[in-house]
Structure 1
Amino acid sequence: MLHPQVEVSLAIRRRPSADVLAADPYAQLLFARAAMEESNEAECGPAIPLPVVVDVDADGVPCRLYATGVDAPVFVYVHGGGWCYGSIETFDRLCRRIADRSGCAVLSVGYRLAPEHVFPAALDDVETALAWIRKEGAGLGVDPSRLAIGGDSAGGQLATVAARRQRDAATPLDYQVLIYPAIDPMTASESYDEVGGHGLDRESMRLAWESFVPDPALRFSPDVAPLAVADLTGMPPTLLITAEYDVLRDEGADYADALLAAGVPVVHVRYAGVNHGFARKLVLFDAARAAADHIAASLRAALTF
């Protein structure tokens, strides 16, 4: 059953008019960016104060570092938003809560957005941030030898592709957290037809994929489509979260199954009654606070060694 909090959440954000929808796709993306930023306070609530919240330049990539103590393990967070919107600020409250509850430092990555910057710009920025925190982390008072990555939606896709590339470079990460990750450029799973709507549908996901990777020939390469990887063996242990009323639900579950089949330890949790995007909306969803605390607990368990 769809939770009543979903309807409340959908009423908060400004929706595009028919004129905007009839305009070119770029106008729709700009509208979505502005609407997400405008609704941030109403969706995410007040900021938890932390001892360290500092904006940093990670070799040209804007990031924000959150920490509650010294020598903490590091969780690199890659925000969602269809590769086209979202920001460090719109995920600030979630990152604060994870840092506060986990004891990990959180590095939130402000990667370049499509369609102005298409693939592989965002992935390059995530990898630059990873290299930077490995190099500079000790000087910042954190412990980059214990390093995890995570993200939601489009950020989940970027996070797991970066994790696979780190594996291939023999610099594996210790853990990954994937929150309703975007996995399938074909948008072919049954959940698109079963639960389409509730804030996300096939048309909007196709626009996102096409904006991120305009060249169709690249959309099924391993650096775009995680399930195109021939061998997932050696990927980091994974917490994968899906939502019952989310069109990305089934592809996330398929990816969890593929990781398990490759021998990767996976915990897949489906949150009932909620829709895509719930996890950052801490003031609106009971499930968001539960998910953030679950992520924090899993990071604490995985990185405390």
Structure 2
Amino acid sequence: MIVSEWGQPFSVFHKLSLCVLLGVSCGANIADYVAQRSVEADKLLDPIKVVAQILMYHFFIGSVPTKSEINLANSYFYDKAMCLLAWKLFLPEEEVNLNHPTANPLIPGRGPPLKCMPPTLTVVAEHDWMRDRAIAYSEELRKVNVDVVLFYYKDVVHEFATLDVLLKIPQAQACAEDIAIWVKKYISLRGHEFSY
């Protein structure tokens, strides 16, 4: 049983059975990592089951640059130098490797086989220098028959749908609606009620 910050039992937790993970930017890396661990844990997580994941403009990187990493490296919101510094600060000193499994999920042997991953919704921004790797990850999941949906939003940058100053733009509003529709449809297709 989980206890809330006010010391009261949080009894709703033990009734929860379905979990949709959502991660934004580096949180998408965390969501994907948790999904990997949930696949490996299998029944150990009962009564919780990760049934899907939503990865919004992932913070994935790798040692071989993609076209978007080359063309957009020094433009818009996050530049490549800042992101490389973030990875250097995050990864253990002896493991500063852009092909580390938490940085690049496309490296073989990174965790459970991709075919075991939950259905995945991917959100990509046109002017995000990390977009190509997110698209490539979606394509690899699709190749092994994971249910994948990719939403590609034009004329926007990294964090366009979650940054306060951009929340009112049409693409951010469309993204929020698209995600809500996908989650509701996905849950209802499995015979479960979705409430929020």
Q: What range is the shorter-chain TM-score in? A: 0.7 to 0.9
Question: Cα offset for 1:260?
Answer: 0.9
Question: Cα offset for 1:293?
Answer: 1.3
SS across alignment from 2:106: helix
Q: How does 1:21-32 map to 2 (within 5 A)?
A: none
**What is the number of residues matched between the two proteins?**
172
State whether structure 2 residue 169 is matched by structure 1 residue 290.
no
User: 2 CA distance for matches of 1:207 and 1:156?
Assistant: 18
State whether structure 2 residue 20 is matched by structure 1 residue 159.
no
State whether structure 2 residue 110 is matched by structure 1 residue 226.
no
SS across alignment from 2:116: coil
Paired residue for 2:81?
A: 203
Instruction: Give the letter for the 1:199 counterpart.
Output: F
Q: CA RMSD in A?
A: 2.4
Paired residue for 1:150?
A: 22
Instruction: Give the letter for the 1:274 counterpart.
Output: V
Given candidates 184, 187, 195, the residue that maps to 1:300 is 184
Given candidates 253, 258, 264, the residue that maps to 2:140 is 258
SS across alignment from 1:280: coil
TM-score, structure 2 as length reference: 0.78
User: 1 CA distance for matches of 2:77 and 2:64?
Assistant: 16
Q: How does 1:162-241 map to 2 (within 5 A)?
A: 162-171=34-43, 173-186=50-63, 188-196=65-73, 197-217=75-95, 219=97, 220-230=99-109, 231-241=113-123
Give unmatched runs, 5+ long, in structure 1.
1-55, 58-135
User: 2 CA distance for matches of 1:144 and 1:202?
Assistant: 40
SS across alignment from 2:155: strand
- Are 1:191 and 1:246, in contact at CA under 8 Å, matched by a contact in 2? yes
User: 1 CA distance for matches of 2:172 and 2:36?
Assistant: 27
Percent identical: 28
Give unmatched runs, 5+ long, in structure 2.
44-48, 192-196
Instruction: Give the letter for the 1:288 counterpart.
Output: A
- Are 2:59 and 2:103, in contact at CA under 8 Å, matched by a contact in 1? no
